[in-house]
Amino acid sequence: MRRPDFITAEEAVDRIKSGTTICTIGMTLVSACEAILKVLEKRFLETGKPNQLTYVHTCGQSDCIAGGAYRMAHEGMTKRVIGGYWGLCPNMMELIYQNKIEAYNLPQGQMANMFHSMALREPGKISKIGLGTFIDPRIEGGKMNSRTKCLEDIIDVVNIDGEEYLRYKEIPIDTLLIRGTYADEEGNISAEEEAMVLEVLPAVMAAKRFGGQIICQVKKVLKTDTISPKNVIVPGVLIDAVVVCENPLEEHRQSSSWYYDPAYSGQAVTCKETNETLPLNIEKIIARRALMELEADSVINVGAGIPNDVIGGIITEEGIKDDVTITIESGIYGGQPARGVDFGVAKNAKALIPHDRQFEYYSGAGVDYAFMGAGEMDCSGNVNATKLGDKIPGAGGFIDITAGAKNVIFCSTFTGKGLKVGFDEEGIHILEEGKIKKMVKEVQQISYNGKIAAEMNQNMIFVTERAVFCLTPDGPLLVEVAKGVDLQKNILEQMEFEPLIADDLRYTDPCIYREQWLGLKTMLNMRKRKV
Q: Mind telling me the catalytic residues?
A: 329
Residue type at 169 in one-letter notation: K
Partners of 184 in beta bridges? 222
**Contact indicator for 161, 198 with CB cutoff of 8 Å:** no
Q: How far apart are CA 40 and CA 109, in angstroms?
A: 27
Coil, strand or helix at 177: strand
| Cis peptide bond upstream of 229, omega within 30 | no
Partners of 163 in beta bridges? 160
Residues contacting 217, CB < 8 A, separation 6+: 9, 33, 34, 35, 36, 177, 178, 179, 180, 242, 243, 244, 245, 252
**Contact indicator for 34, 251 with CB cutoff of 8 Å:** yes
Distance of CA 257 to the CA centre of its chain: 18
CB atoms within 10 A of CB 261: 18
In terms of Cβ atoms closer than 10 Å to its own Cβ (0-12, 13-18, 19+), residue 514 is middle
Residue type at 106 in one-letter notation: L
Give 394's DSSP letter: -
What per-residue string of b and e applies to 79-115 under the rule 16 or more CB within 10 Å gives b? ebbbbbbbbbbbbbbbbbbeebbbbbbbbbbbbbbbb
Q: How far apart are CA 58 and CA 435, in angstroms?
A: 33
Residues contacting 486, CB < 8 A, separation 6+: none
H or E segment and range at residue 163: strand 163-168
**Pairing status of strand 383-384 against strand 351-352:** unpaired
